[in-house]
Amino acid sequence: MSESAGLLPEADLFSSDHFALFGLPRRFEIDERALESRYHELQSAAHPDRHAHRAEQERRLSMQWATRINEGYRLLRAPLSRARYLLELEGIDVGAENNTAMPADFLMQQMEWREALDEARDARDVDALDALARNLRQARRDAEALLARQLDVEHDNAAAAATVRRMMFIAKLGEDIAEAHETLEN
Amino acid sequence: MALLQIAEPGESTAPHQHRLAVGIDLGTTNSLVATVRNSVPVVLNDDKGRALLPSVVRYFADGRTVVGHAAQAAQAQDPRNTIASVKRFMGRGLADVAHVESMPYVFEDAPGMVRLRTAQGAKSPVEVSADILRTLRERAEASLGGPLTGAVITVPAYFDDAQRQATKDAARVAGLEVLRLLNEPTAAAIAYGLDNASEGIYAVYDLGGGTFDISILKLSRGVFEVLATSGDAALGGDDFDHRVYCWLIEASRIGPPGLEDMRTLYMEARRAKEVLSAQDAVHIGLKLSGGEEIDVTLTRDAFADMTKKLVEKTLAPTRKALRDAGLSPEEVKGVVMVGGATRMPHVQRAVGEFFGQEPLTNLDPDKVVAIGAAIQANVLAGNRSADEDWLLLDVIPLSLGLETMGGLVEKIIPRNSTIPTARAQEFTTFKDGQTAMAIHVVQGERERVSDCRSLARFELRGIPPMVAGAARIRVSFQVDADGLLSVSAREMGTGIEARIEVKPSYGLGDDEVTRMLREGFEHAQEDMSARALAEQRVEAQRLGEATRAALAADGDLLDPAERAAIDAVLVDLAKAAAGEDTPAIKKAIDVLGRSTDEFAARRMNRSIQRALAGRSVESL
């Protein structure tokens, strides 16, 4: 196969978006195994360990490339950051939007989870923390399924942005649960 | 094991081009040096056939310095001038060091890092470590028959930026070219994984003399990917010795011992600990300098009981690493035990219970880190052979951030980010007309600056006066493949650029490193200028070879004029390297670097293109 067939023009390579760098279609649902194996292939070419015996400027370039590939992999691997990135490519900054109004039922749910977390922490109840973490995982999976429909099928960016904001709440709560676990262990 | 195949045309290395590279395990208690010889990793022994070099350095008033077994034997006799476990002081201020009261040294607090007062004046932990590294370098050069191209030095995965930088400085002072700082558990995983063709999730439990690391790795098709790491940079076998030492004093009802007795008791405590890994009880009988007699028996159960808390202390970071990796203990396929302290039966039992499986102890826990480092050094030096096509993806252990209003930390790069990595964050001014901004870089997980480790402070000046909140200061963090941080800041809003770049450093400037380097050579009675010439020649040869290989592989990326220019520079370099003028060789090397900048960029693009193309071919 000829080397230039179907490839990005060189000048665009470094500035191309992460989906193009990883050779994936620009959508929410992705082939995770393809992402991982492409990540390994790209790092096998770019990583500083592959260029350690080369000249200084080659090592510097290698670090810049490897940094970029790591950043792309980080953004594409996690569903939440992938969705945010997709919306960003569409010109929508989820975090900067002033409208953070949530549906009333989700706010209620939030409050219940927060209370459950506080109670489990005060009672030093690890099982309750684990149960809460399981509930949260399910909520996250549901939100991801919803995002797949909103982003890939209905192309409803406004609705997707609202779902992303909900996922951000869930993610923050997940971090707080992990922190509570740590406090109980020490 | 199905390894990832990446063709690098023109890169095959003929045996005569084999570059001398070593892996060094710079341990709290013992240090080792290993290399790859005829494709087999081997630990290099000293002239008496011993692999382990005790990490002990004795400084004599007459300027002599003794490293290793002889120094270790003199610990009780000359405790103040005989420095052991210096790794605990690397990149640390006096306030960070535990058990100062039961150490025989005279400490001096110095900015950034503590100093130890000896018969040869105040010694930085960097200098003491450099004396250990120099001994290993000399051992390797005598054994391999020539100057080293470079070395991979291992560090605990949980070492912060200050400790890593101090280790790299020590290597420079010892006259070593650092190819990479490699995390100890990762080094062990390489040695273990390549040896056993392992696939799946593995945990590496590394309890050394003074540090504890736990790393969770995913091994797949020749890729070693660290998912999470955690640990305790001040927990190790030494702490078990300390428990036994305290027990000895209590059980024997003696008063606070003098310096010599303190050392003797510590050495007995360590011996008792080691004996208890093989026996159910150990007798300790000795006479102290003041005539007090110690005559006690310690059982394995009593020892396990008095050190239970220490073993438990390792399980909290273990849980944290698993949680960060999003895994449960059952998902771990194997647990590799590393470090001499994992020989203790109750440590093995606790780890086995936690993971619900027998831990893997089939590799020598003292040597596995040096072996892994040697394998990595061999690859980094360019001695890669086709069956060594594996890739290592490691992470930083602790979050990096900046101080914001009210003494709080804004995290910029979270822990367990794969390196190299870079992130930027924008900040703004607090007052109208503010023209400077203080930037304070910290490392750690806590919310308050005072609970994190301070890495560097610098000021960005020359911000054009604006109303509060109008300036946009972009602070960028870059962490390289050694896990070392550099920080830059610039004002983005206006055309005027205020920019600063810092590498956090810990009391050691470049001139100080040069001074230590010179002193080191004086003591070792080597000729520094001869060594510098030899090093520049090795470097010139290395770069000449690399450039010729690159031209052979990708010469088509250059037009005839560009090609002719590089060829001419190569001829100049070869001429310079044949001469005796060290600065001229260095200059020719710099010229080659500048002349091949553009070529290197085109090659890198092609290499990425090929990685992309490889996939398309496969999926057709």
Under the banding of pLDDT at 50, 70 and 90, the label for residue B390 is confident
Q: Could you tell me which residue, B10 or B455, shows the higher pLDDT?
A: B455
Under the banding of pLDDT at 50, 70 and 90, the label for residue B428 is confident
Per-residue confidence (pLDDT) for residue B3, from 0 to 100: 39
Under the banding of pLDDT at 50, 70 and 90, the label for residue B388 is low
What is the DSSP secondary-structure string of B179-214? EEEEEHHHHHHHHHHHHHT--EEEEEEEE-SS-EEE
Best residue in A54, A75, A130, A181 for a mutation probing chain B (most B CBs within 10 Å): A54
CA distance B372 to B180: 12
Phi, psi of B250 (to 5 degrees): -65, -50
* Percentage with pLDDT > 90 across chain A: 49
CA distance B377 to B396: 20
Per-residue confidence (pLDDT) for residue B471, from 0 to 100: 83
Tokens of B47: 């002239």
Under the banding of pLDDT at 50, 70 and 90, the label for residue B5 is very low
CA distance B207 to B111: 30
Q: Name the catalytic one among B25, B78, B169, B239.
A: B25
Tokens of B402: 């900046």
Tokens of B442: 């910290």
B477-527 confidence digits (pLDDT tens): 999 999 999 888 888 766 555 566 666 555 566 667 677 766 666 655 566
Q: Say if CB B50 and CB B24 are below 8 A apart.
A: no
What is the DSSP secondary-structure string of A24-57? --SSSS--HHHHHHHHHHHHHHH-GGGSTTS-HH
Task: Please tell me if residue A134 touches chain B, with a CB cutoff of 8 Å.
Answer: no
Cα distance from A42 to chain B (closest Cα, Å)? 6
- Judge whether residue B146 has pLDDT over 60: yes
- Judge whether residue B96 has pLDDT over 90: no
β-pairing, B56-59 vs B65-67, is: antiparallel
Q: Which residues of B touch A45 (CB under 8 A)?
A: 6, 607-608, 610-611
B48 is catalytic: no
Longest dimension (CA), chain B: 86
Find the range with the poorest average confidence among A13-27, A40-54, B393-407: A13-27
Find the range with the poorest average confidence among A54-58, A89-93, A160-164, B20-24: A54-58
Under the banding of pLDDT at 50, 70 and 90, the label for residue B556 is very high
Q: Residue with structure tokens 């799946």?
A: B200
B240-249 confidence digits (pLDDT tens): 999 999 999 9
Q: Which residues of A touch B219 (CB under 8 A)?
A: none
The H-assigned helical ranges of B356-449 are 368-380
B87 is catalytic: yes
With a CB-CB cutoff of 8 Å, which residues 55-84 of chain A face chain B?
A: 55-58, 61-63, 65-67, 70-71, 73-74
Cα distance from B115 to chain A (closest Cα, Å)? 32
Distances (CA, A) of B251 to B66, B298, B569: 35, 10, 74
Q: Name the catalytic one among B46, B127, B160, B184.
A: B184
B49: left (phi over 0), alpha (psi -120 to 50) or beta: left
B33-86 confidence digits (pLDDT tens): 999 998 899 999 999 999 999 999 999 999 899 999 999 999 888 989 999 999
Per-residue confidence (pLDDT) for residue B524, from 0 to 100: 59
Average pLDDT over residues B541-555: 87
Residue of B550, B594, B612 lying closest to A7 (CB–CB): B612
